[in-house]
Amino acid sequence: LASWVGFSNLPNQVHRRAMRRGFHFVTMVVGESGLGKSTLINTLFETKLYGPKSVPQPGQDRGKTVQIESTSAEIEENGVRLKLTVVDTPGFGDFVNNDESWKPIVDNIEARFDAYLEQENRVNRSKLVDNRVHACIYFIQPTGHALKPIDVEFMRRLHTKVNLIPVIAKSDTLTEEEVVLFKQRILADIAHHGIQIFQPPQYENEDEETIQENEEIISKVPFAVVGSDSLVNSQDGRQVRGRAYPWGTIEVDNEAHCDFVKLRQMLVRTHMEELREHTNEILYENYRTEKLRAMGV
C-alpha cells in the first residue's frame, strides 16, 4: 500500500497513544454545491473510501434540507490501522432560504457529542466509540472578494463545536496574487466576526525541522486547495494528479501550485492528535458542561 497518508510516521509517543485509544478520525466537509467537496475527499483519501452510505436523519425530507452522509474506510499503513470517516453535507446553501442551513449540521455534531456522553455515563467505560467530528473543512467560494453572509453565519454557529478548517475551494480559478489577497481578506473577516478557526499551535520544544514544518502549515491558512481525481500530463511530461488548462497544468501535489499537500499533512500527519485532543478537551468538554448545567446537575 502506498504511504499516501503518512499516519504510521507519527512521532512515536503520539503514535503509541493513538494506537492504544483506537485510531478513528472523523472529518466533515461543508460548503455550497459544486465547490469540489466530493472531489477533494477523493483526492485526500484516494479512492479507498467506500460508500457513500446515506444516513438520513429522522423526520428529514430528502432533497429539501441539508443531508448528512457518512462514509468510512479502514486503512492500514505499515501495520498501523486507522478508521477514517468522512461526513459529507450535500444540500448546504442550495435552497431559496438558507437561513438555517447550519442547523442540521450543528444537530449532527451535537448528536455525536451526546452519543459519547451517553457512553461515558455507562458503568463499563472501557471501550468508548469516538464518533465525534474532529475536523470540519469549510469550503469558501473562490470569489476573491470576501466571506459571504452564509459563510460567516455557518462559522459563527459552529466554531465553538468543531475544529473549523476554512479552505479556498477551486483555487486554480484564481491567480496567485488573487489567492494572497483573498486569504488576507478571509482572515480579516474571521477576526472581525470573532470566529475561532483551528490554529495549529506554535511549537517550541521541538526539533528545528518540526518547527519549520509547522510554521509553513500555519502560514498557509486558509488553505487554497485544488482537487482532482484524474491524472493529467505535467509540463515536463509526468503523469500527475491535477487539472489541465490550455495554458498549462495545475498539479494537486505540487506545493508551488496549491496548498493541498499542506492541508493533508496537517490533517492526517502532523496535527491529527491535536485535532482529536482539542475536540475532546475543549469543544466536547464545553458542550458537556453546558449540557449538565442546563439539566441542573
- Residues at the interface with ligand GDP (CB under 6 A): 31, 33-39, 170, 172-173, 226-227, 243
Distance CA 259, CA 256 (A): 8
Give me the sign of the Cα torsion angle 187, 225, 37, 144.
positive
Q: Which does 172 bind (CB under 5 to 8 A by kind): Mg ion, ligand GDP, none?
A: ligand GDP
Q: Which does 170 bind (CB under 5 to 8 A by kind): ligand GDP, Mg ion, none?
A: ligand GDP
Q: Which does 166 bind (CB under 5 to 8 A by kind): ligand GDP, Mg ion, none?
A: none
Tell me the three cell numbers of residue 189: 473577516
Can you give the length of the chain in residues?
297
CB-wise, 15 or 144, nearer to ligand GDP?
144
Q: Which does 212 bind (CB under 5 to 8 A by kind): ligand GDP, Mg ion, none?
A: none
Binding positions for Mg ion, 38-67, rule CB under 5 A: 38
Min. distance of Cβ 294 from ligand GDP in angstroms?
35
Tell me the three cell numbers of residue 182: 483573498
Min. distance of Cβ 93 from ligand GDP in angstroms?
10
Min. distance of Cβ 128 from ligand GDP in angstroms?
31
Q: Which does 226 bind (CB under 5 to 8 A by kind): ligand GDP, Mg ion, none?
A: ligand GDP
Min. distance of Cβ 240 from ligand GDP in angstroms?
14
Strand duo 223-224 + 164-168: pairing: parallel
CB-wise, 162 or 250, nearer to ligand GDP?
250
CB-wise, 18 or 225, nearer to ligand GDP?
225
Min. distance of Cβ 176 from ligand GDP in angstroms?
15
Write the binding mask 20 to 39 for Mg ion: x where contact by CB under 5 A, - elsewhere: -----------------xx-
Q: Which does 39 bind (CB under 5 to 8 A by kind): ligand GDP, Mg ion, none?
A: ligand GDP
Min. distance of Cβ 182 from ligand GDP in angstroms?
15
CB-wise, 7 or 92, nearer to ligand GDP?
92
Burial zone of 272 (CB within 10 Å; 0-12 exposed, 13-18 middle, 19+ buried): buried
List of residues contacting Mg ion (CB under 5 A)? 37-38
